[in-house]
Amino acid sequence: MAAAPEEKQTESLERPLLAIDSLTKVYPGGTRALDGVSFAIRRPEVIAVIGSSGAGKSTLIRCINRLVEPTSGSILLGATDIVRLGAKDLRQARRRIGMIFQEFNLVERLTVMENILSGRLGSVSFLASFTRRYPAADVANAYAMLDRVGLAGLHDSRADALSGGQRQRVGIGRALMQNPDLLLVDEPTASLDPKTARQIMRLIRALAEEGATPALVNIHDVALAQGFADRIIGLKAGKVAFDGPVAELTPAVLTDIYGAEDWSQTIRRESEEETSA
C-alpha cells in the first residue's frame, strides 16, 4: 500500500521527518518479516503500529535503528539514509533516535541515575562514561527528567528495586535524555497492568508533544492505540495493510488486519475517551 495518501501531497514539499521506502527484512531461514513497507512521517505525531504477533511490528521498529539489519529498502531520517550508514555514522544516527522497550531493558544493577544518564552515552567519552562523570548540563537535565517522569528523589535507587511502571518511566527518561528526533517505542505497556499502562501511554504522548518528537509505537492493545495515537499503521504479514487517522479504524479494517472477530467492543467510542482521559 502506498505510503502517502493523495491528499497529503501538499505537505510533502517539505522533507519528511522520517521516510521509509520498500523496507524488506528476510531473516536467515527465509522468514520474510517485512515485505516492502513504505510510509512517511511528516509532522510530530504519535503513530501506533498494530498487527497480530509475527506481523513484523518489532522487526520494523528494530530496523529503523538497525538493531536488526534490514535486507533492502531505505530509511531516511531527515536527510540521512540509515540503511547505508557505516558503524560510526550509525552510532551518530542512533543518538538521534530514542528507544523504549517492552521489558524496559534497564541495566538492573545500576542506579536510576546511571540508567537515565546512559541516554547521554553517545555524547560523552568512554572514560567519562566509565568514571560516571557526565557534564553538568547533562546531570541537571537528568534531575529535571526524573522530576518530569515522576521519579524525583529515586536517583540513587537501584533499577531492580523499582516497580514495573517506575522502571518503564526510567526507560522513557533514558530515551528522552537523547533529545531524540524520533521515538521508537516497542510494546511499552505489554508488561504492565492496565492502569499503569494507561499512565505510561499518557506520559509518552505528553513527552512526545512537549518535544515535538514523532513517536512510532508498537502496540498490541487496539483500544490503547486508539486512545493515545493520532495515526494508525496496521501491519499484516510484513506489509502495510492500513495507514490512516484513528477515526478511520473500522471493524472492517481490523478484520482485515487481524482476521474475523467481533470488534464492536474493541472500538472506542468518543464518550469513553472523555471519562477515562
For other proteins, the binding residues (CB under 8 A) are 65, 67, 91-99, 101, 103-111, 113-114, 117-122, 126, 129-130, 132, 134, 136-137, 139-145, 147-148, 155-156, 171, 174-175, 178, 184
Select 175 or 197, whichever has its Cβ closest to other proteins: 175
Instruction: For the CB of residue 247, give the shortest distance to other proteins in the complex, in Å.
Output: 32
- Closer by beta carbon to other proteins, 173 or else 227: 173
Length of the chain measured in residues: 277
DSSP letter, residue 158: B
Nearer residue to other proteins within complex by CB, 139 or 223: 139
Is the distance from CB of 188 to CB of 170 less than 8 angstroms? no
Q: How far is the CB of 180 from other proteins (least distance, A)?
A: 9
- The Cα 129–Cα 43 span in angstroms is 34
Nearer to other proteins, 182 or 257 (CB): 182
- Are the beta carbons of 203 and 151 closer than 8 angstroms? no
Smallest distance, Å, CB 106 to other proteins? 6
In the complex, what is the shortest distance from the CB of residue 114 to other proteins, in angstroms, rounded to a whole number? 6
The residue among 92, 85, 50 whose CA lies nearest residue 244 is: 50
Query: At closest approach, how far in Å is the CB of 265 from other proteins?
Result: 33
Nearer to other proteins, 178 or 189 (CB): 178
d(CA 185, CA 102): 8
Q: How far is residue 222's CA from residue 169's CA, in Å, rounded to a whole number?
A: 22
132 grid coordinates: 560516571
